[in-house]
Structures are given as structure tokens and as C-alpha cells.
Chains A and B, each alone.
Chain A
Amino acid sequence: DGGITQSPKYLFRKEGQNVTLSCEQNLNHDAMYWYRQDPGQGLRLIYYSQIVNDFQKGDIAEGYSVSREKKESFPLTVTSAQKNPTAFYLCASSTKTSGANVLTFGAGSRLTVL
């Protein structure tokens, strides 16, 4: 079955450490996205990529980095510069259409900074 795989599901990190969250999709989608979710704040866009080797900052990109070397993969690195990294992170992908992109989401990764 096609879908989006995020790993790990749970991750613990010490302050000052970088951590990378994996996102892989086998839907043959062109676009991929990273969102951060905090209680009561909905989902906020971190980075998105419409095509391989290209990506754009979202609303809260500071302290995060991404790469898009393959169509199937869009890893997110949470750097030590991110002030409050504890959150639930969601990856999504979509096909490009002339209208709206319809996003499909992964199951999420929960990062806790100790």
C-alpha cells in the first residue's frame, strides 16, 4: 500500500543535540511538507518542497533544516538553535495540480527534549 512513513515515532533528545526526523513516501508525489503541532495551536508549516533539490521556508523555519535529494525522501533536522523543539512533527506529501494540492499525512514523530 502507498503511504508516508515517518520515523522514529518517539524520539528523546538532550539539549544542544541535533536530531533528524525521517519522512519517506511511495505515493510518487512531487510536493512534500513538514508541519509542527503544539497543543491549541493547530499545525504550523516549517518547510515545504515542490520538487527535488528545491525547498522553501514556511512560517516557522528558524532552527530547522531540510534536504530534498530524492523525490521519495524529505528529512527534517531539528538543530540546537531551535529554542523549544518539543512537539509533534507531521510530514505530508501531495501531487501538484492546477488547483489545490490535497495533502496526505504520515503518522507523525513526537520529539521530546530532556
Chain B
Amino acid sequence: AQSVTQPDIHITVSEGASLELRCNYSYGATPYLFWYVQSPGQGLQLLLKYFSGDTLVQGIKGFEAEFKRSQSSFNLRKPSVHWSDAAEYFCAVFSGSARQLTFGSGTQLTVLP
């Protein structure tokens, strides 16, 4: 069965600093990978996705993620964080056979002024 691990429960960065959120997945076949963001009390918004091709994918709000098959990772990055980026971030992997999306436990991002 597929699984996703987000090792960092909570990350704090200063506004303007760079950001990297870690994601490791376990899946037998070529993974379909996603990053979603959730503001408090709201639903999830898709930031970006990887299906195939270029391993560096660009998303909305200036985010990017890099797929590394050898490390089973799909880390999310942003060069300069804004206060509005404070939210919870979820990595997810889609199972083609089960047609299900499996989520990690999330990383809460705090941005200091």
C-alpha cells in the first residue's frame, strides 16, 4: 500500500527566508504526487502536481517541487516566504490501481515578521 511521510510537523521561518518542506513516499509504481495547502478552517487548494516528465515542477504562489526517484522524495520549496504563506501543507500520492489519494500528516508553517 502507498504511504506518505512528512517528517516535519511544524516549521517556523522568517518572512523573506527560503523554505523547504520535506515529503517522502512509498509506492511500487511510478508515483503521481501532489502538494496541497490548507488555511485554517478551510478546504485544500492544489499547489502543484507531478505526473511525469521534468522532475522540477512549478506551481502557484511561487512554489516549486522536485521529484527525486532515488530518494523517494518530493520536497516543496519557495525562495522567499511571505506572511500569507502561513498555513498547513500536505503532500499526497495517488494510487492508480485503487484510484485513491493518500495524504501525509501535514506540516504546519509559521512565518515570523
Chain A residues in contact with chain B, CB under 8 A? 4, 6, 31, 33, 35, 40-45, 48, 50, 58, 90, 92, 96, 99-108, 110
| Supplied contacts A42-B6, A100-B94, A107-B42, 19 more A-B pairs, CB within 8 Å | A4-B43, A6-B43, A33-B101, A35-B103, A42-B104, A42-B105, A43-B44, A45-B102, A50-B99, A90-B43, A99-B32, A100-B51, A100-B96, A101-B101, A103-B44, A104-B46, A105-B44, A106-B43, A108-B43
- Of A44, A92, A101, which one neighbours B99 at CB under 8 angstroms? A101
Question: What residues of chain A lie closer than 8 Å to B100, measured between beta carbons?
Answer: 45, 48, 58
| CB atoms of A31 and B99 under 8 A apart | yes
12 examples of A-B residue contacts, CB within 8 angstroms: A31-B99, A42-B90, A42-B104, A45-B100, A45-B101, A48-B100, A101-B94, A101-B101, A103-B44, A104-B46, A105-B43, A110-B41
State the CA gap A100–B49 with chains docked (Å): 10
CB distance from B34 to the nearest CB of A (A): 8
Q: B56 near A: Cβ within 8 Å?
A: no
| CB atoms of A42 and B106 under 8 A apart | yes
Given contacts A42-B90, A43-B90, contact A102 B103 (CB under 8 A): no
CB distance from B70 to the nearest CB of A (A): 21
CB distance from B29 to the nearest CB of A (A): 11
| CB atoms of B105 and A41 under 8 A apart | yes
How large, as a class, is the contact surface on chain B? 20 to 34
Given contacts A40-B9, A45-B100, A48-B100, contact A99 B51 (CB under 8 A): yes
Looking at B36, B49, B51, B103, the one whose CB has the most chain A CB atoms below 10 A away is B103
CB distance from A5 to the nearest CB of B (A): 11
CB distance from A46 to the nearest CB of B (A): 11
State the CA gap A80–B12 with chains docked (Å): 40
- Closest B residue to A45 by beta carbon equals B100
Looking at B34, B43, B105, the one whose CB has the most chain A CB atoms below 10 A away is B43
| CB atoms of B49 and A102 under 8 A apart | yes
CB distance from B62 to the nearest CB of A (A): 20
Per-residue 0/1 for B19-35: is the Cβ within 8 Å of any A Cβ (1 yes, 0 no)?
00000000000001010
